[in-house]
């Protein structure tokens, strides 16, 4: 089965082969056209040499008036040894009848040097006497063909990029619809048993009394189920965010984790640190859910062994950093980004949805960032969440939030 990395490699390889083939083909055509230009020029010079060698031929201007005008590529004729400019034709930005000033001659000699780099000068012979050297360059057609493959490759890249972005958008939309559908269906399925449990809870209250420990624990669990159902119902909906104190978020997560985590692993050393005075614009239920998922993943990484979980809230400028650090089995470097993809899980019975959902809550709904800050196999992992603070909380205020502008 092909993975995404292999598919990308194949696409890149095919693109490079295509680009190489286009460049090779165009280079072959350019080389053939240059050869044709050289053969044409040799033909004209030999024709002129034969005519000039004929005793009956006296019109030496014939070569410059009749033959040279038929040449479509740029040429410059120089006098051997002295390197004086004798004539020129089809030179870009230089008129054929321009006055041969010293500056123009210097410019033409510079062009001659560039011409000789690509094409060998053709000698103009009359009998056994060398009367000139014809330097020639590429015609407009050849120059256009030189740029054509790059234009073709650029156009192909633009088309491929547009197709890739379109494919990514469609794929992202499909994933989003799947997420929303699963979340809505989960919330719907939870609704019926929760309503039934609430009815049974009322009957338990009548029989056991309001102060019964069983009734109180059942009430807490049912409220928790309602909260979970509400969380799923918000996935895909227009999430409402409001200013909440980071301290309140910290306390709620801490209270839930300290109550539930010991049931999974009693040997966990839970530590919470808070050094934040600001608040943030967030959806309380979804953000708490995301942080709970991170902490639970840290506990799972301990694999039932004694270990430590550190949850650290800290602030720097207008950003709030939340680090969830565990002393578990760690994550290999190559999986640092993969762990946030749907379906990826290192657990035997894991669905691979927890961290993917957490990433969605942090990045899509709260415009934050989540990534593996550090991890070493056998040493543990630290996952960092970065959120933007939005408010200031007065030190003497009783939990009030003052929004800043």
Q: Please write the tens of the pLDDT for every residue from 202-257.
A: 888 888 887 788 888 888 888 778 777 777 776 766 778 888 888 888 888 888 88
Residue 370 near residue 358 (C-beta atoms within 8 A): yes
Q: Is 80 exceeded by the pLDDT of residue 47?
A: no
Distances (CA, A) of 335 to 186, 340, 371, 380, 395: 29, 9, 11, 14, 42
Rounded percentage of the chain residues whose pLDDT exceeds 70: 78
Average pLDDT over the chain reads 78
pLDDT band at 311 (very low <50, low <70, confident <90, very high): very high
Confirm whether 4-138 and 240-403 share one CATH topology: no
Enter the tokens of residue 29.
Answer: 């055509």
Contact between 38 and 136 under an 8 Å Cβ cutoff? The reply is: yes
Query: For residues 346 and 339, what is the distance between their CA atoms, to the nearest angstrom?
Result: 9
What DSSP state is assigned to residue 68? G
Average pLDDT over every residue of 122-137: 80
The residue ranges of every structural domain in the chain are 4-138, 144-221, 240-403
Tokens representing residue 85 in the block: 């400019």
Is a pLDDT exceeding 80 seen at residue 156? Answer: no
Q: Which residue has the higher pLDDT, 152 or 305?
A: 305
Q: How far apart are CA 62 and CA 85, in angstroms?
A: 19
What pLDDT is attached to residue 283?
86
Average pLDDT on 303-310 reads 87
| Entry pTM | 0.52
Instruction: Select 4-138's CATH number: 3.30.565, 3.30.450, 2.10.240, 2.40.360.
Output: 3.30.450
The tally of CA atoms less than 13 A away on the side-chain side of residue 390 is 14
The class that CATH gives domain 240-403 is: alpha beta
C-alpha count within 13 angstroms, C-beta hemisphere, residue 183: 21
Over range 175-199, report the average pLDDT: 70
């Amino acid at each position: 089965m092909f993975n995404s990395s292999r598919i990308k490699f194949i696409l890149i390889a095919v693109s490079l082969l295509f680009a190489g083939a286009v460049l090779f083909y165009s280079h072959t055509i350019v080389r053939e056209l240059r050869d044709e230009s050289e053969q044409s020029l040799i033909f004209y010079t030999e024709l002129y040499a034969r005519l000039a060698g004929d005793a009956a031929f006296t019109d030496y201007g014939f070569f410059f008036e009749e033959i040279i005008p038929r040449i479509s590529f740029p040429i410059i004729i120089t006098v051997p040894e002295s390197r004086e400019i004798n004539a020129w034709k089809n030179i870009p930005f230089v008129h054929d009848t321009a006055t041969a000033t010293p500056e123009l001659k210097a410019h033409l000699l510079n062009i001659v040097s560039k011409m000789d780099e690509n094409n060998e000068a053709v000698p103009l012979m009359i009998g056994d006497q060398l009367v000139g050297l014809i330097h020639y360059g590429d015609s407009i057609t050849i120059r256009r063909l030189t740029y054509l493959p790059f234009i073709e490759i650029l156009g192909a890249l633009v088309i491929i990029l547009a197709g890739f972005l379109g494919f990514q958008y469609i794929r992202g939309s499909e994933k989003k619809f799947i997420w929303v559908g699963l979340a809505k269906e989960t919330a719907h399925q939870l609704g019926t048993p929760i309503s039934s449990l609430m009815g049974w809870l009322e009957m338990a209250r009548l029989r056991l009394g309001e102060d019964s420990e069983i009734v109180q624990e059942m009430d807490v669990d049912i409220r928790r189920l309602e909260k979970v159902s509400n969380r799923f119902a918000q996935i895909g909906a227009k999430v409402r965010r409001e200013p909440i104190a980071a301290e309140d978020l910290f306390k709620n997560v801490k209270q839930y984790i300290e109550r539930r985590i010991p049931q999974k692993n009693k040997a966990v050393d839970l530590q919470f640190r808070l050094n934040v005075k600001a608040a943030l614009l967030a959806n309380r239920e979804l953000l708490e859910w995301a942080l709970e998922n991170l902490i639970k993943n840290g506990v799972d990484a301990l694999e039932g062994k004694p270990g430590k979980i550190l949850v650290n809230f800290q602030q720097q400028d207008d950003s709030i950093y939340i680090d969830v650090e565990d002393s578990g089995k760690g994550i290999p470097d190559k999986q640092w980004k993969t762990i946030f993809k749907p379906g990826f899980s290192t657990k035997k019975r894991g669905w691979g949805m927890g961290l993917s959902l957490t990433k969605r809550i942090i990045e899509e709904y709260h415009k934050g960032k989540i990534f593996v800050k550090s991890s070493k196999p056998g040493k543990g992992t630290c996952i960092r969440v970065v959120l933007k603070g939005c408010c200031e909380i007065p030190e003497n205020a009783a939990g009030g939030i003052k929004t800043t502008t």
